[in-house]
Structure 1
Amino acid sequence: MSLRGVQLGLRVWEFVWTLLIMSLVGNMINEAFAGNPSSVNYTMFLSAFSMLSLIYLVPASFNLDWALHPIIMLGVDVLNTIFFFCAAIALAAKLGAHSCGNSSYTSSNEITNGSHNPSKRCKEAQAVTAFLWFGWAGYMASTVVSVLLSRSSTVNMRGRSGSARRPARPSMSQV
């Protein structure tokens, strides 16, 4: 399987996790009556950024000519990798590893507090945290593939541009 095929598979993987994250966080935000902590809002920003970048990355993965330059694709992958990593750590740290059935925990936790159903919001936040790590793994692998694709396309570009710019020079016997 080629690197482009692997890259397309990773784009589908990233889209699925981004869609799940966006829908769960959107539901968390919709059901809150007392506002949302910054980590939840950041996670929503992350999912919107990831969706917008996938609008660029999916066609660019089909055809590298649409990528404008392979380094742009690599930069977007690196940004998504960093954003997913930060969101996964922030949400996991704020949520803590507790049981969602513990009402004293859910009423005092910053993430679950402020919802009509804190136990449900806790389970959604735990699912989002897991999905963030899956998305991070996808973007991390995609970053590696983007590095490999950018290196191979740069070599191809050098080979083509070097021979296309200079006309063939005559050899010494022809002079």
Structure 2
Amino acid sequence: MALVGNMIATSTAGNSALVNYDIFVAVFGMLSLLYLLPSAFMESFNVPMVSIALDALNVLFWFCAAVATAAYLGVHSCGNAAYTRTNQITNGSPNTKKRCHEAQAATAFLWFGWAAFVASLAFSAMSGRGNMNMRGGLRRGPSMSQV
């Protein structure tokens, strides 16, 4: 979040929509953690469907941000001034080399964040499956009678 925030703060010619989306994803993830962390430690605070929904949204948002940032950034060298001046992510700052390095680091952290939310989604789904009654309210008697 700090890397993308610094990219926005040092921008002189505006930011691409992708950089703004990256900061949205980081802020949404942080706000989600305000619910997800306490609910992981206090069972009475946990609503399984809310945890699963927040984790699923974070997985989707972080994956989209990581793929889009990596695709728009490309795999060029940050020392190539012709590349950094023409790329829509790295352009817009007086020091395009620094901005390029920040964008590459932010891309790596977006992938780590995505992996963390995938793991969190798996744990939320496993713990939520035991707490939710997915079948209807139909109750039946015991399947075997004791003799």
When normalised by structure 2's length, the TM-score is: 0.89
Question: Shift of residue 56 of structure 1?
Answer: 0.6
- How well do the aligned residues superpose, as a CA RMSD in angstroms? 1.9
Secondary structure class of the residue paired with 2:32: helix
Question: Shift of residue 63 of structure 1?
Answer: 1.3
Which residue pairs with 2:18 in the alignment? 39
Question: Shift of residue 154 of structure 1?
Answer: 2.2
The one-letter code matched in structure 1 to 2:16 is P
Task: Verify: 1:24 aligned to 2:3, yes or no.
Answer: yes
Q: 1:117 aligns with which of 81, 85, 95?
A: 95
The one-letter code matched in structure 2 to 1:108 is T
Matches of 2:50 and 2:117, distance apart in 1: 15
Matches of 2:51 and 2:15, distance apart in 1: 32
Question: Shift of residue 153 of structure 1?
Answer: 1.7
**Aligned residues, how many?**
138
Maintained 8 Å contact 1:32/1:115:
yes
Question: Shift of residue 64 of structure 1?
Answer: 2.4
Task: Verify: 1:48 aligned to 2:27, yes or no.
Answer: yes
Matches of 1:52 and 1:91, distance apart in 2: 22
Q: Which runs of 5+ in 1 are unaligned?
A: 1-21, 163-175
The 5 A counterparts of 1:67-146 are 67=46, 69-146=47-124
Task: Verify: 1:58 aligned to 2:69, yes or no.
Answer: no
Secondary structure class of the residue paired with 1:32: coil
Which residue pairs with 2:127 in the alignment? 149
Question: Shift of residue 143 of structure 1?
Answer: 0.5
Matches of 1:64 and 1:107, distance apart in 2: 52
Secondary structure class of the residue paired with 2:132: helix
Matches of 1:64 and 1:115, distance apart in 2: 47
Runs ≥4 residues deviating over 3 A: none
Q: Percent of aligned pairs with the same residue?
A: 53
Maintained 8 Å contact 1:64/1:70:
no
The one-letter code matched in structure 2 to 1:60 is S
The structure in which a higher percent of residues are helix is 1
Matches of 1:43 and 1:64, distance apart in 2: 32
Matches of 1:46 and 1:121, distance apart in 2: 19
